[in-house]
Amino acid sequence: MWHICNTRANLSFMAKKTEDDAARELLFRSESEREAHPMAVQALLARNALLTALETSRAGQGLTKAELAARAGLEASSVRRLLTSKTANPTTEKAFRLMAAMGIKLEATLPTGERIELVETSAPRSRRRSAKAA
């Protein structure tokens, strides 16, 4: 927010930046970065929620990180990093493997209302080939 103040020296109006304005200018180098920031924050919050859900489910099932890694077909050190690091950023493949290994089902609802299953809790079923692929 910009504040206008009256200086005693010449009684003219000058723009005075607040500390928040100065911090925003340092944080964002451009208007596009400022506009993209809420989406980046939303993605980080979603990632944190996902990792928390994975860790909570793992602990609730009494699995060690090594046991979970073996079930998911991943390296134990990779799973340990994902579930303990504050800066972990799992690939969708790793996240989906961990969910499937713990029986977590993930669905998406499209704007049309159609629901599609992204992570299946049982063995993957064979996918139909499209007419073009046949």
pLDDT for the residue numbered 37 = 82
Burial of 101 (0-12, 13-18, 19+ CB in 10 A): buried
- Give domain 51-134's CATH architecture: Orthogonal Bundle (1.10)
Does the pLDDT value for residue 8 go beyond 50? no
Q: For the whole model, what pTM was predicted?
A: 0.66
Q: Residue 76, Cβ neighbours under 10 Å: how many?
A: 14
pLDDT tier for residue 7 given thresholds of 50, 70 and 90: very low
pLDDT for the residue numbered 18 = 63
Mean per-residue pLDDT for 77-106?
94
Poorest-pLDDT segment among 37-51, 83-97, 117-131? 117-131
Domain ranges of the chain: 51-134
Both structure tokens of 64: 């060690």
Average pLDDT of the chain, as a whole number: 78
pLDDT tier for residue 134 given thresholds of 50, 70 and 90: very low
